[in-house]
Homo-oligomer: A and B are copies of this chain.
Amino acid sequence: MAVGSFSTDWLPIAGIDISTIAAGIRYQGRDDLVLIRCSEETAFATLWTQNHFPAAPVMVAKQHLESADTRYLLINSGNANAATGSEGFRDAIACCQTIVEHLGGEASQVLPFSTGVIGERLPLAAFEAASASLVNALGSKDWLDAARAIMTTDTRPKIASRQLTFGGKTVSITGVAKGAGMIQPNMATMLSFIGSDAKIAPATLQLMLSEATRLSFNRITVDSDTSTNDAVVLMATGQSMVAVDANEQDLLEFQDALTDLMLELAHGLVRDAEGATKFVTVEVNKASTPEQALEIAYSVANSPLMKTAVFASDANWGRMAMAVGKVPTAFDANLVDLYIGDVCLMKGGIRNTEYREADGAAVMAEEEILLRIDLNAGDHGETVWTSDLSHDYIKINAEYRT
């Protein structure tokens, strides 16, 4: 069902070791638990869900980040350990403990991440049984194994790498992500772990992650729902010995590569969205303000009627106009042009007299669709990406738990 092609190429990151295992937390016959070890001196940047019911691992990871030097990330799929109260909180700490029992150190040096079903206790026994093998295998598994092990309703692993050269020295970035639904602006049900061997100070790293997230994971939407477990982690091990924050030019180059990599991962989430049959780019141009551009872009991208029209390959420009028009902020409807791809459907607020249904049908039949809205009211633009709303979205989400 996924739309387009997914690369499985990746670069190793010096200073990051990976291990994965089939712990049987929920799924059978596949890896579902990942351990990531970072070398000492690794800098961390993190972003977390804004849901008012953050899951236990989110709360524990934030505490651990503040109280100790992080060395490990422990990620499980199949169970989100969310809305599990104080027991869930203790479980999240306990699963960190299973790792340091074999590795030494404090449980607070481990950041826990969970994704999957909400409201069920984490099966601690599965973590305990798997921990020795998981620790022993550190370094034996790769980023693609990690990308696979964190999948829930995903059908494809999402992985991307970038390489840059600074003064003859190479810097690599590799990231993985998971998430196929409950994806709305603020990261939603998604986890992403990105590593680089660049040397970057933590404060700078945090700024870089925020900016790259704003332009990638915060510009995609599948169903407007926001999960309790979202997290994005950026790790800079410094093992390349290249301090990219030493000069502004290098920093900007790294920032661009990071944003580009995260956009590839974000697009991967949309391409693999639950039930997706189309990859949809919604572009709003010539708005009065960036906020207006985003408001309209999301209104179109989240409209169930527009999304079902896209699923049906129906160039239903009436629904597109409806979705543009339903936003709270006023605009001059008589200036608005609507396009699908290069085909102009509406010109100056009314049906384009030269528009022919056959042209609209031709562009809508494609797998990759561009919905373009020109407000002709200013010079601000924004782009968001989404999928269509299909029978399979309902099927997947109606049957996920049962």
Chain A residues proximal to chain B, CB less than 8 Å: 50-53, 80, 82-88, 117-119, 181-182, 184, 223-228, 302-305, 308-309, 311-312, 314, 316-319, 321-327, 330-331, 333, 346, 349-351, 389-391, 393-395, 397-399, 401-402
Contacts and interface: CB of A to CB of B under 8 A. Distances in A.
Contact of A304 (B80, B304, B333, B399): B304
A117 B318 contact: yes
Nearest to A118: B318
A322 B390 contact: no
24 contacts: A52-B331, A52-B333, A53-B349, A85-B351, A118-B316, A118-B317, A118-B318, A119-B316, A119-B317, A182-B305, A223-B304, A224-B302, A225-B323, A225-B326, A228-B318, A228-B325, A304-B397, A308-B394, A309-B398, A311-B394, A311-B398, A312-B398, A389-B394, A391-B395
A77 to B, nearest CB: 15
User: Which A-B residue pairs are the 6 nearest by beta carbons?
Assistant: A118-B318, A85-B350, A312-B398, A53-B325, A308-B397, A226-B326
B391 A346 contact: no
A333 B59 CA distance: 13
Contact of A318 (B83, B87, B224): B83
A348 to B, nearest CB: 8
Copies in the complex: 2
B225 A119 contact: no
Given A305-B397, A394-B308, A394-B391, A84 B351 contact: yes
A50 B304 CA distance: 19
A316 B225 CA distance: 14
Contacts of A346: 83
Contacts of A393: 304, 308, 394
A86 B327 contact: no
A119 B349 contact: no
Most chain B CB neighbours (cut-off 10 Å) among A330, A333, A399:
A333
A181 B318 CA distance: 15
Contact of A325 (B52, B304, B323): B52
A309 B397 contact: yes
Contact of A83 (B86, B117, B327, B350): B350
Contacts of A322: 51, 53, 82, 118, 182, 225-228
Given A228-B325, A322-B51, A350-B83, A314 B223 contact: no
Nearest to A82: B318
B401 A314 contact: yes
Contacts of A330: 52
Given A52-B331, A325-B51, A402 B318 contact: no
Contact of A80 (B312, B317, B318): B318
A49 to B, nearest CB: 9
Nearest to A327: B52
